[in-house]
Amino acid sequence: MSRWTTVATNGRKRWAAVVAGGALVLTAALSAAPASADTAQAYPVTMTISPFNAKKTATGCKDIYWWVTVSGLKSDTSYSFTTSAKQGTASPITGSLVSYPLKNGKNKVAGYVCGSTRKAGPYKINAAVRVSGKVQGAAEARGTLKVTPALDINGYDTSKGFYVYGYPDPAIDMKGKEVKIYFKKRGTTTYKVVGKTKVNSSGKWGFTSTKLTYGHVYVGYAGSTYVLKAKSDSGQIVPAGTSSANSLSLG
How many other C-beta atoms can be found within 10 angstroms of the C-beta atom of residue 151? 22
pLDDT tens digits, residue range 111-161?
Answer: 999 999 999 999 999 999 999 999 999 999 999 999 999 999 999 999 999
Q: Map out the domains of the chain as residue ranges.
A: 2-33, 40-146, 154-250
Q: What percent of the chain has pLDDT over 90?
A: 78
Q: What is the pTM of this model?
A: 0.80
- Determine the Cα–Cα distance for residues 141 and 50; give it in Å rounded to an integer: 7
- The per-residue pLDDT for 18 is 38
User: Which of 3.90.1570, 2.60.40, 1.10.3470, 2.40.160 would CATH assign to domain 154-250?
Assistant: 2.60.40
- Determine the Cα–Cα distance for residues 195 and 172; give it in Å rounded to an integer: 23
Q: Is 25 exposed, middle or buried (0-12, 13-18, 19+ CB in 10 A)?
A: exposed
pLDDT tens digits, residue range 72-88?
Answer: 999 999 999 999 999 99
User: Which of 2.60.40.3880, 2.60.40.10, 3.40.50.300, 3.90.1150.10 would CATH assign to domain 40-146?
Assistant: 2.60.40.3880
Element (H, E) at 39: helix 37-40
Which residues contact residue 1 at a Cβ distance below 8 angstroms, ignoring those fewer than 6 apart?
none
- The per-residue pLDDT for 223 is 98
